[in-house]
Every structure is written in C-alpha cells, then in structure tokens.
Structure 1
C-alpha cells in the first residue's frame, strides 16, 4: 500500500530530530472536505472544539483574544468570511478519522523500516483539524508531541524556530504548569532562526516535539490537519517536565531534562509510582468497569 505521507530518504535519517517538508496524498480525502467537517463539528463534544477570531497577534495575550459569536457548524460553513480560527480536537473520537490517522502513521512507519505505527513506537495517536479564514494567525507556541502537519486546502505559512539551545523559549517555560496558556512570548528577531514552510494543498511539514512555531493562512480559507503521536522518549520527557514544574512551585527549580540523567531517572520513577493507581482507575473506567468490579 502506498504511503499517504512521503518522507525523503534524507529526512528519514534525521527523523524525528529536526523539521522537514513533506508531500502527502490527503488533499482529496472526502473526510477532510468542508462538507464533512461541518458534520464532524456537529458530532464532536463541545469541549473538543476551540475557536476564536482569526485576527490575532503572533504573541496574542490570551485575555484579549477576539471571540466569534457563532456555533461551530456555522463557523465551518461560513469560514470564507467568518474571520475565524477553529481547531477540531482529537478527531480520532470518530472511528473513520481514527482509521485515517492510523493509516497515515502505519505508512510512515513502513517507510522508516517498521511493520506499523505500533512497531515504530507511535502511541497516543491523535488528530487535530484546523479550519481557518483567510489571513488568520495561530500564535507562537510549542506542542508536547511530534506532529506531521498536512495542508488540505488554501495556503499556509508555517514558521518553526530552532530552540535547541534554549535561548528562545527558556527551560522553565517548557515545563507543564497547570493553568498556563499555550501562547508564548515572541520577538521578531526569532525569525533569524526560523525555517518557514510555504504550504499549499498536498504539502506539509514535520514539527518535532517542543519546537516553537507560529502559523498564518494566505488569501483563501485553509483546512489543515496535525497528525500527532507520543514516543516513549516524549512521554518520559513530558512526565519529567511535570515533575520539574511541581518542584519549581515549591521553590526547587530543576535542571532541564538530560542535564542530570541519574536524577531524571529518580524523578521519573517517583512520578510513575504515584500515577500508577490513577492510571489504572482511568483504564478501568474506559472499559466501563469500576474498581469494585
């Protein structure tokens, strides 16, 4: 079976360490058409849909984000003139989209030498579909997973900033702080370290874990999809960042992950032990059981 996402041999060598451009065969998939996305917006639970005005700043203050006074389905229906930005979150809640995401990552996994996505360590597979009006902006932020981002309709400019030395987004900001908004401080000089991907239908890019980025659309409405997953290394890093944030709140700032590997391992073991009962309860509930059963 042909892969839906094409990764060059050269980019396979660096995956998943640095960003790169991709080609894909998803632009004509009926599931990603505007009509089907209207239906998807009606089917998803309300907490899985986020939207606001599209005319925001790259470093938009979360307290002053412009609102859109329309229902989600109406926003998608009128996206050409709605001046809106919308994301349909965790679309794998709908089985057809879960199958699509798995098929995409199974193909990538085969291309890099694995049997399928599970064999490649692609776990926690999730999909996020963005429907944006012309000239809309997604502010500067980082994501806690790896991501193949594919452009389905319209033009999009994707700015990914090299922060490997921690000088753009400090270590403390990367930590998971309850209640913290995803938008980050942005300065125009960050563009000196940016790689900008200009994407039309059939184009895309790979966004590595925790690489800061911001996005804007062109003169047409835009449909895009982020195909995300978490590797074992990413899940370990996320747990460590959660521990570091907790300790920082108690006045004990921690070194960034990787600087003290032995101490990192101790913290990971501690948080894993503390979370085990909670995660088991969640697992039971997801199967429709109770702890008493």
Structure 2
C-alpha cells in the first residue's frame, strides 16, 4: 500500500462500516513516548490538553481538560503517565517538524484510498490527533465531524463503534447542531451499548471509524496507551455536513427538515443551498463593511 497502511484495508467500506486493519508506523521516532516528550512541549499550549484518567462514558469529552484537570504540568503528566491516571489529547501536531513527513504520507495515502473507492477526488481538512493515556483510562462516548483512522502505537484498548446516521443513537437534531459548530453535549446511556461493534485493539492495528459514528475507548490495564487519529473530510462527508448545517438553520426557523443520509439527491440540494447562503452572507458582510459611516 504505502508507508503508513498495510494492504488489507477494505476501501469499499469507508464511511459505511467500521473495520480493523494493519498499519506500518510502529517504531516511528515521533510516536514513541520519548519522541513525544520532546515534541509536545514545543507545540502551542492550547493544542495539548490533559486531564485525569477518565472513567465515566458520560463525561463531556470536549471539556475534560477543563472539568477534570489532573493538577500537574504537561512535563509532569508525561513523566508519570504510567502511574498517575492521566490522559493527554494533542490537536494538530503536524506543524512540528517531527510530524510533517508523516502527515504528508497520511494525506497522500488516504487520498489514494478515496480515489480507489470512487468516493472522493481529494480529502479535505486533514488533521492529526494524538492520545496518550494511563492504563485503564477511557475516552468517553462521543462522535466526530470527520472520518477517522485510529492507529494504535503502544498498549492495547477496546474500541466500541456505533452505526452512523442512527436517530436512536445520536439524534439528528443534536448532530446537526454539532455540525453547525455548537458545543457537544453528553449523550451516553447504558442501553446504547447493545448497538456497539467492539474491537480489541493492539499495537500495529488500526481501525476506521466512519463519519459521525459514535464511539468510546477503554484502554488496557497492562501499559500506557499511545494512539494517533487521522481525521479528514471527503467530497461525500462535506456534502453531508453542509446539509446538516442547512437543516440546523431550518430548525431555527421552526421547520422540521428530513434527515440527512436518507436521500443523496436531497442532501445535494441542501448542501448547495448552504453554500449559496454562505456566499450571500459573505457578500452582505463585505457590503456592510464598505458602506460609508454616518
């Protein structure tokens, strides 16, 4: 396949179902605990979020570093990660030289996979995230605005992934609001677990989490867990996202639009309408800025 992924990746299933496959990044110097100890302090502080090791699937994942701070510095957290019950999430590390080559390789390989599947000519908004966690730490139930490849680099975990576009798992209105960049809200209910597809996950393995699929993670007890996520949008997921944003606007007007994902033609119309509305808004804002004062 390439530098990052093995040849066992079933590209036809992208964004249709979760699946596990092999990656080829074990031993990459930027992705060891020693390499991370050097690079993470160089990143802007707002990109490196750390907290206590989480144990409740209902915690608001987006606010964990605020609501559940571990009382230590980043350096202390990294040095004691095996025993301190801590969790580190790193957003967009690719600006650091240690990750730039890896980021370029991931972008190229995922673009090739999308073209192979006939889903997208390109990928959009590609991003890297890193997760370093103490044994037994958990990632609470949540969903993302992107498609995701999650690669395990050290330790083990169980990943539970839920079907996307399911109103009984993530209500459409909540998903639309999140796509419109509103804050996430805790969604976990114990009865949801019967819908989960659970993967036991060890170093050298990767998993595809489809666009907006709810998921949670439980790290194994034997070692520190290091994993990396590569998030991206495709032509298809961008169309879904814009259609959801359009639905969100319609709901604010008191309307009840049809769910996104049920009709490709309807999603395309909504996506186009959202793009036109944004374009008109930019024109109006520019016009207001150019209007003479007084």
Asked if these proteins are the same fold (TM beyond 0.5), I'd say yes
| TM-score, scaled relative to structure 1 | 0.83
Partner of 1:176: helix, strand, or coil?
A: helix
Match of 1:56 in 2: 55
Pairwise CA distance, 1:33? 1.1
Distance 1:68 1:279 in 2: 43
Work out the number of aligned pairs and report it.
Answer: 276
Distance 1:259 1:69 in 2: 46
Pairwise CA distance, 1:139? 0.6
Distance 1:279 1:158 in 2: 41
Q: What are the within-5 Å matches in structure 2 for residues 47-126 of structure 1? A: 47-60=46-59, 65-110=67-112, 120-126=121-127
Match of 1:142 in 2: 143
Q: Which structure 1 residue ranges, 5 or more long, are not aligned? A: 281-290
Pairwise CA distance, 1:239? 1.8
Distance 2:186 2:97 in 1: 34
Distance 1:61 1:184 in 2: 5
Match of 2:256 in 1: 253
User: Once the two structures are superposed, what CA deviation does each residue of 1:176-199 show, in whole Å capped at 9, x if it has no partner?
Assistant: 346754353223332322111111
User: Once the two structures are superposed, what CA deviation does each residue of 1:97-149 show, in whole Å capped at 9, x if it has no partner?
Assistant: 232022134235546765xxxx8522221100001111111110111111110
Match of 2:129 in 1: 128
Q: Is the contact made by 1:75 and 1:84 (CA closer than 8 Å) also made in structure 2?
A: yes
Q: Is the contact made by 2:165 and 2:261 (CA closer than 8 Å) also made in structure 1?
A: no
Residues 208, 279 of structure 1: alpha-carbon distance in 2 compared, 3 angstrom cutoff = farther
Pairwise CA distance, 1:28? 0.6
Partner of 1:175: helix, strand, or coil?
A: helix
Residue among 267, 270, 274 paired with 1:271: 274
**1:226 paired to 2:229:** yes
**1:156 paired to 2:148:** no
Q: Is the contact made by 1:102 and 1:125 (CA closer than 8 Å) also made in structure 2?
A: no
Partner of 1:197: helix, strand, or coil?
A: strand
Residues 87, 167 of structure 1: alpha-carbon distance in 2 compared, 3 angstrom cutoff = same
Distance 2:183 2:145 in 1: 13
Match of 2:286 in 1: none
Q: Is the contact made by 2:51 and 2:86 (CA closer than 8 Å) also made in structure 1?
A: yes
Q: Is the contact made by 2:132 and 2:225 (CA closer than 8 Å) also made in structure 1?
A: yes
Match of 1:8 in 2: 8
Pairwise CA distance, 1:59? 1.1
Match of 2:24 in 1: 25
Moved more, 251-260 or 239-248: 251-260
Residues 7, 142 of structure 1: alpha-carbon distance in 2 compared, 3 angstrom cutoff = farther
Distance 1:88 1:24 in 2: 20
Distance 2:15 2:263 in 1: 23
Moved more, 243-252 or 56-65: 56-65
Q: Is the contact made by 1:56 and 1:66 (CA closer than 8 Å) also made in structure 2?
A: no
Please, what is the CA RMSD of the aligned residues?
Answer: 2.8
Distance 2:268 2:237 in 1: 14
Distance 1:76 1:278 in 2: 45
